Amino acid sequence: MEKRILALCGAIAITAVAHAQDTQPLPSHGEFIEQACVPAMLQQLGDAEAQHGFARAACECSYRLLSDRPTMTRERFEAAATVCRAEYEQDGAAFVRKYAE
């Protein structure tokens, strides 16, 4: 479990650097999830089938927290990642069920 949390932090940081410069328009849901976040997370976690659900859940959680505004900043992205990480740490299985389905 600790490996997943650390990988989540790394993947979120990679995605934040690549996709949340100072301020930029929030990408569409599909672009954010499928083209940016999930591939970055799978690069960190490995491409095993079990990792896909976790990566999708983590990315979906972040997107939901960011989607209330038309733009995102690195600060907001990192704050969303912190909230998602805390939620995952409370109950990882419930986190994946909530966001991956």
Give the three-state DSSP class for 23: strand
Residue 58 has pLDDT above 80, yes or no: yes
Q: Which residue in this structure is represented by tokens 């849901």?
A: 29
> What pLDDT, on a 0 to 100 scale, did the predictor assign at position 61?
95
Which structural domain range is residue 30 located in? 2-100
> What pLDDT, on a 0 to 100 scale, did the predictor assign at position 4?
58
- Number of domains into which the chain is organized: 1
Is 31:72 a contact under the CB 8 Å cutoff?
Answer: no
> What pLDDT, on a 0 to 100 scale, did the predictor assign at position 98?
95
* pLDDT tens by residue, 64-99: 999 999 998 888 888 898 999 899 999 999 999 999
